[in-house]
Amino acid sequence: SAPSPSVPVTYTSGLSQPTMRSVPPAPSISTTPSGAAARLEGSKAFAREFAARHAIPGPVVRTFREVEPALAWLDEFNKPVVVKADGLAAGKGVIVPESRVDTERAIFAFLAEHSMGEAGEVILLEQRLVGEEVSLFGISDGVTLVPLISAQDHKRVGEGNTGLSTGGMGAFAPVPRVTPELEAELTEIFLRRAVDGMAAEQRCIEGVDEFGADPGQRAFDDGVVAGGALRTGFAPPTFG
């Protein structure tokens, strides 16, 4: 089973390629991605760059290591953003500010006060996307993709999707509003492109990959976890 989201996960180191080659043939099963593929989970900046390279749609995003350049870009962008720690933060490295003041506080907390330690040494400022999250799952051996059931999870601590992000607040499956046609379309847009992209970059993706998107079908989250499955989240434009 996958580690609890409430504690820092360790599978981002993945399996070294020599270890992968030494694993006996079926029926033995590897339950972690390779170290190269695990960067999708360990670095949000890397995941964004990977998505851009392989035409996986996403929001406007910039990465920063210092406060002043982040604030300058915020003035230039002049739209609501989400502030994310680049590294692993036990599910608590994302701040969804409700005002400019809250945004600046989050930037200072990560980059000046080091509230997330090494995980927050680099931050991402991302265009804020609004929509209903849905997750798709699939199993992959690095080439073949077998879609599984859809689900919807909840991250924010307060009623009505308010408050700080947590390590996870539960989920339900399947999602009634996801039609077979929509599921097939989103699987191709996110999961298929992720598997093909990792194969093209020679990164074994025998793990879980996650993507999320807004009503315009842009990815807002991504990562890799143990279990040999792929996960993608999105908010379809037909949800209203």
* pLDDT above 90 for 111: yes
Confidence of residue 206 (pLDDT cuts 50, 70, 90): low
Band of residue 155 on the pLDDT scale cut at 50, 70, 90: low
- The answer, yes or no, to whether residue 3 has pLDDT greater than 50, is no
Q: How far is residue 86's CA from residue 93's CA, in Å, rounded to a whole number?
A: 8
SS3 track for 122-149: CEEEEECCCCCCEEEEEEECCCCEEEEE
Cα 7 from Cα 151, distance rounded (Å): 22
Question: Are 201 and 218 a contacting pair, CB within 8 Å?
Answer: no
R_g (Cα) of the chain, nearest Å:
18
pLDDT, tens digit, 9 for 90 and up, residues 218-232: 554 554 443 334 445
Residue 112 has pLDDT above 70, yes or no: yes
Contact between 89 and 167 (Cβ < 8 Å)? no
pTM listed for this prediction: 0.73
User: Predicted confidence band at 202 (pLDDT cuts at 50, 70, 90)?
Assistant: confident
pLDDT at 114 over 90: yes
10 pLDDT higher than 50: no
Instruction: Check pLDDT > 60 for residue 5.
Output: no
